[in-house]
Amino acid sequence: MGRSSTSRLGSALPQAQGSPSRDGGEGRLDPVRWRPPARGLLLRLAAVAILLGTAALVSWSPPPTCDPPVYTVPAAGSAPPSTPPGAQSVPTGSMGVPVRLTDPAALALVEPGNRVDLLRLDEADGSTTQVAASALVLQVTSPDDPTTGGLLLALSPTEAQRAVATRGQSFTVLIRPT
């Protein structure tokens, strides 16, 4: 009873000549017998392999692409950006000057290509000063929205400098016949 199971088995089995046994004497080494795994074990191993493969693919795949908006800056000497329909380009020798009018209702009466006289109104003393005579209207912006509506006028460089309004000054236009 005090003997181990290996020593009992080792003594019961015939020992091969010249091979040492585990208990120090000459004994036989039993071969390892391979048995196929049970069907349930194979299914579990296959499921684990599939899940590990899926996790590897998901973790290594690039994130979905949401392309950022692309802004292109035209190179020097390239064609100018397209203008809205009805708008005109700035004539040579003139400057395009945006002007917000005191009375946005006047924007509904002005069209690109019209000629207008630009007047600056001084609210402090009620005087008017002519800034530009017969200025070409290049574009009319949003006549429906009084906060952003205005005109883009083609002015000479000296008229453009006079078209700068300070606090207490605003602009109005006189529409010239075509």
Interatomic CA distance for residues 130 and 36, integer angstroms: 103
pLDDT in tens, 126-149: 888 888 989 999 888 776 665 666
**Mean pLDDT score, 13-19:** 52
Dihedrals phi, psi of 32, to nearest 5 degrees: -85, 130
| Residue 77 CA: distances (Å) to CA of 73, 74, 80, 163 | 12, 8, 9, 29
> Mean pLDDT: which of 50-54, 55-59, 106-110 is highest?
50-54
Cα–Cα dist 123/165, whole Å: 12
Place 117 in a pLDDT band, splitting at 50, 70 and 90.
very high
Q: Which two tokens stand for residue 103?
A: 């009375």
